[in-house]
Amino acid sequence: MSIEKSRAIPSPHILIIPIPLQGHVNSMLNLAEILCLSGLRVTILLSDYTHDRLLRHASLDSRFSSYTGFRVATISDGLPDDHPRSGSRVVDIVQSLQEVGGLQFRRLMVSTDGMSDGGARPRVSCLIMDGMLSFPIPVAQEMGIPFMHFPTISACGLWPYFCVEEVIDAGELLLRDKNEDKLTFWKRKEMDLMVTNVPGMEKVLRRRDLPSFFRVEDVNNAGLQSIIAQIKRTRQAIGLILNTFEDLEGPILDQIDKHNANQNLYSIGPLHLHLKELLKAKGKESSHHSSSLWKENDDCIAWLDSQLPNSVIYVSFGSVATLTRDELLEFWYGLVNSGKKFLWVVRADSIAGDGIGNEIPVELEEGTKLRGLMVEWVPQELVLSHKSVGAFFTHSGWNSTLESIVIGVPMLCWPYFADQMVNSRFVSEVWKIGLDVKDTCDRLLIERMVREVMEVKRDELLEKARGMANMANKAICEGGSSHLNLNRLIQFLKSGASSKL
Ligand code: UDP
């Protein structure tokens, strides 16, 4: 075959569709870059809103400038610009995309003959999308394009969704009374009863550890029912990709593999670390590239530089969580009264209702001047790897959890919603690399737990955390489980993504 001819053979073209939220976009961009490095062509479909914010605050263009096979396509998420897209309103994004995404996607795919450019870029050969999105499926099926799911959450966070009907049938779903407030519900003793219908988690999972979407008044709740329908649909996918590794979640991955026997399963994480390793192997620099939807604060690293090693607790509840004023104050008192230094990310949109207001107790202001720094957004991976950071007070989002695992930083977990409830349980009870304070938000408890994670239990947590960090590093190196699984995935995508590999 002549060189000219081999050049003319187009490489397969993969279309990636994340839920347009920070954590999901981060994982999918990492996957996109990994696929580009393997010589695949990649288009990522973003919402206009997310794309605008990436252009404003992230370094998307410079990050992907050397990959000629990379493209961004956009559609509208159907929400007005001033929609909060956070807190409990975040579900509107998926709901709206399901309503308005299908038609836009069809137009895009038809008008471009499956996103081809008539030249080197062929039509899409496989679609990789978030498990909670189904609007692209009818078009993909009509055009004969196979699709895979990449839910971007943990295996332990995903598995209870697959078992939801068994949990309901066994009466293991605790239903909230109609007029019962959140705090009274959380305090109910039955919340601590074990769930026995999620195989492999019988000794770990309490009712309070089930994904928050299971906390309903009625099993016919529209949100819960739509999740059940969605989970059933995921079985139509030819494969499932997970951002995890076998030494971390092997037994749960086995359960999922057994349950979805018709699908290829690829655990290829931690993706951000995997990407760094692949860049290194190709002699490419892996300098900090922001994929942030908020402007990163530049001063926090200098502030950390001026602190003693392991003296700071880094606090962030991610990109979606919102706090009430009361919750914020309880955390704030807990942090200040712990006497520890703290770096706390408080997004401008993260206080529900009328915000924090002007009346901030003077002891909090003074305590923060002495020991704290509060900022709107940070380069989190850089912060976590800073020598001054001794622990991470987190909402247990899966990206944050993995970023902490990779560095070996112990965690204090206050899960906000969704799969985070399960993640924090695994962090504390299975991996033993952190403490879980879910469903409590009390200044005395927070003060005590901050001291526990930073001081009292630090050595035992650190030993486990370092062990897990080593395993994460092994998984993505030559011969490691995630490395082998990634090779298998790339071979699968290059072969046309049609047969089981
Ligand atoms: N993140 C960041 N800066 C911050 C807070 C978070 O870059 O100040 C990143 C973090 O590194 C992670 C993502 O935002 O990759 C949050 O994703 P995660 O799955 O942890 O939680 P979510 O935001 O989806 O609830």
- The CA distance from 55 to 74, in Å, is 13
- CA distances from residue 358 to 105, 332, 342, 365 in whole angstroms, order as listed: 46, 15, 22, 11
Q: What is the pLDDT of residues 80-138, one digit of tens each?
A: 999 999 988 999 999 999 999 999 999 999 999 999 988 888 999 999 999 889 999 99
Does the beta carbon of 78 sit less than 6 angstroms from any atom of ligand 1? no
Task: Return the pLDDT at 7.
Answer: 43
Name the 3-class secondary structure at 210: coil
Number of neighbours of residue 359 by Cβ within 10 angstroms:
7
Name the 3-class secondary structure at 199: coil
Nearest Cα residue to 18 out of 37, 42, 39: 42
Burial (CB < 10 A; 0-12, 13-18, 19+), residue 205, is: buried
Does the beta carbon of 173 sit less than 6 angstroms from any atom of ligand 1? no
Number of neighbours of residue 76 by Cβ within 10 angstroms:
13
Q: Are 45 and 29 in contact (CB under 8 A)?
A: no
289 is catalytic: no
Average pLDDT, the chain: 94
Low-confidence ranges of the chain (pLDDT < 70): 1-10, 498-501
What are the residue boundaries of the structural domains of the chain, listed by start? 11-156+223-290+476-496, 299-473
Task: Return the pLDDT at 1.
Answer: 35
Residue nearest to atom 24 of ligand 1 (CA): 23
Does the beta carbon of 294 sit less than 6 angstroms from any atom of ligand 1? no
11-156+223-290+476-496 and 299-473 have identical folds: yes
Q: What is the pLDDT of residues 13-47, one digit of tens each?
A: 999 999 999 999 999 999 999 999 999 999 999 99
pTM of this structure: 0.96
- Positive or negative torsion for Cα 409, 413, 416, 418: positive
Residue 399 makes CB contacts below 8 A (sequence gap 6+) with 23, 26, 27, 152, 243, 272
Nearest Cα residue to 293 out of 77, 94, 21: 21
Task: Return the pLDDT at 288.
Answer: 80
- The CA distance from 420 to 161, in Å, is 13
Does the beta carbon of 134 sit less than 6 angstroms from any atom of ligand 1? no
Q: How far apart are the first and last CA of the chain?
A: 28
Q: Please check whether the domain covering 11-156+223-290+476-496 is classified as CATH 3.30.420.340.
A: no
CA of 219 to the centre of ligand 1 (A): 31
Does the beta carbon of 319 sit less than 6 angstroms from any atom of ligand 1? yes
Element (H, E) at 100: helix 91-111
- CA angle, 245 as apex, 242 and 247 as ends, to 5°? 150
Task: Return the pLDDT at 499.
Answer: 59
Nearest atom in ligand 1 to the alpha carbon of residue 376 is: 8
Does the beta carbon of 398 sit less than 6 angstroms from any atom of ligand 1? yes
Q: Please check whether the domain covering 299-473 is classified as CATH 1.10.357.10.
A: no
81 is catalytic: no
CA of 63 to the centre of ligand 1 (A): 18
CA of 392 to the centre of ligand 1 (A): 12
Task: Return the pLDDT at 476.
Answer: 98
Sheet holding 312-316, edge to edge: 372-375, 341-345, 312-316, 389-394, 411-413, 434-436
Read off the tokens for 252: 């749960």
Taking phi over 0 as left and psi of -120 to 50 as alpha, with beta for the rest, 417 belongs to beta
Percentages of the chain per state (helix, strand, coil), in multiples of 5 = 50, 15, 40
Nearest atom in ligand 1 to the alpha carbon of residue 26 is: 15
- The CA distance from 272 to 275, in Å, is 5
Task: Return the pLDDT at 32.
Answer: 98
Q: What is the pLDDT of residues 418-444, one digit of tens each?
A: 999 999 999 999 999 999 999 999 999
Nearest Cα residue to 120 out of 68, 61, 46, 63: 68
- CA distances from residue 86 to 28, 90, 182 in whole angstroms, order as listed: 20, 5, 19
Q: What is the 3-state secondary structure (H, E, C) of 271-292?
A: HHHHHHHHHHHCCCCCCCCCCC
Peptide bond into 270 cis (omega under 30): yes
Q: Are 116 and 123 in contact (CB under 8 A)?
A: yes
Residue 231 makes CB contacts below 8 A (sequence gap 6+) with 131, 161, 162, 164
Residue type, 366: E
Read off the tokens for 66: 């050397």
What does R_g of the chain's alpha carbons equal in angstroms? Answer: 22
Q: Are 270 and 249 in contact (CB under 8 A)?
A: no
